C-alpha cells in the first residue's frame, strides 16, 4: 500500500521514507493539504498531514469521497481538524500525542535569550562591521521571575531550564505538576502570574477556553519590561492587541514561533510575494520582536519520534488496534 503524505519538508522526507521502509511505500508531497490540494488524495486509503493542513468540512468531504479512511496527522495539536465532521464521515483520525518536549522547551528558551540579549540586532550589526554596544543591553535572568502558562511535559522541561538559571518559578494550569512543585514552582492564578513575571512562556494547547488567553486585558496586566514567548499555538495570543501594546513601546522582547494566521504562510517561501497580512507585516517591524516559522519542534530527535509514531498509527489502524493517539475511532470500511 502507498501512503500519501502532505506537507513534508525536505529534511523530513528521508526520515519518512526510512521509517516506512518494510511496511509501506510513502509518497511525500511538499504541498499542504487544503481545499485546492485535497483532490490529490483520491484513491489513497491512508494519508498523513502536517500541522498547517486545513481539514475543514469541505476538505474532509473530498477525502471521504476519494476513498480515504485514515488521516494520520504528524503533530500533537489538532485544532485544524473538524473532528465532528470526520466522525460523521467515518474517517479515522490519529495524531502524535507525544514527542520530545525538550525540542520545544529549548527553542522557547532560545527565543527568550535572543530577545533578551538582542542577538539578532547584534548579528546584523556585526555583518556590517558595526561593533557598537549601544542598544544591546540585556538583563540577568537569575533571581528574576518566570511565569509558565501550562506545565505539561513541555512546560515542565521549560521549568527545569528556568530552575537551572536560578529563577523564581510561577505556574498556572488546571492541575499542578508535582515535578514542577518539587523544583520550587508556586502555582498562582493567571492574573498574578501575568502581573509578577519578568518572563512569560506559553505551553497550553489551543482550545476554545484558551484562545486569546493572552488578550488585550492580559497584555495590559504584564510588566512594561516583560518578555513574552509563545512556542505553542498562535491563537493563544491576540496578535492585534499585542501590536497595539508594542506600538506603545512596551515589553523588553517578544519571541513568537507561532502566529494565529500562519496557515498559508509558514513553511512556505513568500519572499517574492506581497504579504497581505497587515498585522504580521507590522509585527515583524518591531526591533524587540523575533518571529520564527513554527520550527520549535524541528529537531532530528523530535521529528524522528513524530514519524515513528505516525508509522505506528498506520499499523495500528490496519490491525484494528486503538491507542491513545486516536482522536476519532476506527470506522468499518464500506
Q: Which residues are catalytic?
A: 233, 262, 294
- Nearest alpha-carbon partner for 296 in 211, 234, 214, 227: 234
Q: Give the SS3 label for residue 97.
A: coil
Give the integer Cα–Cα distance in Å for 59 and 63: 6
Displacement of CA 50 from its chain's centroid (Å): 11
CB–CB of 243/279 below 8 Å?
yes
CB–CB of 149/190 below 8 Å?
yes
Task: Decide the pairing of beta strands 326-328 and 92-94.
Answer: antiparallel
Residue 241 C-beta-side C-alpha neighbours within 13 Å: 16
Residues 149, 117, 235, 203, CA torsion sign? negative
User: Which cell goes with 63?
Assistant: 477525502
Task: Decide the pairing of beta strands 70-73 and 46-49.
Answer: parallel
Is 35 exposed, middle or buried, given 0-12, 13-18 or 19+ CB atoms closer than 10 A?
A: exposed
User: Which cell goes with 146?
Assistant: 518566570
Give the integer Cα–Cα distance in Å for 287 and 129: 19
Give the integer Cα–Cα distance in Å for 292 and 181: 31
Gyration radius of the chain's alpha carbons: 21
Displacement of CA 12 from its chain's centroid (Å): 17
Q: Give the SS3 label for residue 199.
A: strand
Give the integer Cα–Cα distance in Å for 190 and 17: 44
Amino acid at each position: 500500500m502507498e501512503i500519501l503524505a502532505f506537507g513534508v519538508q525536505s529534511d523530513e522526507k528521508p526520515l519518512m521514507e526510512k521509517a516506512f521502509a518494510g511496511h509501506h511505500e510513502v509518497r511525500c508531497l511538499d504541498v499542504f493539504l487544503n481545499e485546492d490540494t485535497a483532490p490529490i488524495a483520491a484513491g489513497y486509503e491512508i494519508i498523513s498531514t502536517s500541522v498547517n493542513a486545513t481539514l475543514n468540512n469541505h476538505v474532509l468531504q473530498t477525502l471521504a469521497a476519494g476513498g480515504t479512511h485514515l488521516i494520520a496527522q504528524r503533530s500533537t495539536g489538532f485544532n485544524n481538524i473538524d473532528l465532528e465532521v470526520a466522525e460523521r464521515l467515518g474517517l479515522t483520525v490519529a495524531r502524535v500525542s507525544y514527542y520530545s518536549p525538550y525540542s520545544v522547551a529549548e527553542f522557547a528558551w532560545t527565543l527568550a535569550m535572543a530577545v533578551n540579549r538582542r542577538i539578532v540586532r547584534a548579528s546584523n550589526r556585526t555583518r556590517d562591521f558595526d561593533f557598537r554596544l549601544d542598544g544591546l543591553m540585556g538583563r540577568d535572568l537569575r533571581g528574576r521571575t518566570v511565569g509558565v502558562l501550562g506545565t505539561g511535559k513541555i512546560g515542565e522541561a521549560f521549568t527545569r531550564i528556568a530552575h537551572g538559571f536560578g529563577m523564581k518559578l510561577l505556574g498556572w494550569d488546571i492541575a499542578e505538576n508535582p515535578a514542577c512543585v518539587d523544583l520550587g514552582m508556586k502555582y498562582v492564578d493567571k492574573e498574578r502570574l501575568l502581573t509578577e513575571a519578568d518572563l512569560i512562556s506559553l505551553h497550553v494547547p489551543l482550545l476554545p477556553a484558551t484562545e486569546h488567553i493572552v488578550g488585550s486585558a492580559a497584555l495590559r496586566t504584564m510588566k512594561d519590561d516583560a518578555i513574552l514567548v509563545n512556542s505553542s499555538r498562535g491563537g493563544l495570543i491576540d496578535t492585534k492587541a499585542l501590536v497595539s501594546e508594542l506600538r506603545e513601546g512596551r515589553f523588553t522582547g517578544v519571541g513568537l514561533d507561532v502566529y494565529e494566521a500562519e496557515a498559508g504562510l509558514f513553511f512556505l517561501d513568500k519572499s517574492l510575494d506581497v504579504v497581505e497580512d497587515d498585522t504580521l507585516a507590522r509585527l515583524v517591524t518591531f526591533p524587540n520582536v523575533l518571529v520564527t516559522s513554527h520550527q520549535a519542534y524541528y529537531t532530528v530527535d523530535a521529528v524522528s519520534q513524530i514519524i515513528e509514531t505516525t508509522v505506528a498509527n498506520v499499523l495500528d489502524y490496519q490491525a484494528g488496534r486503538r491507542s491513545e493517539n486516536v482522536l476519532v475511532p476506527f470506522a468499518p470500511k464500506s
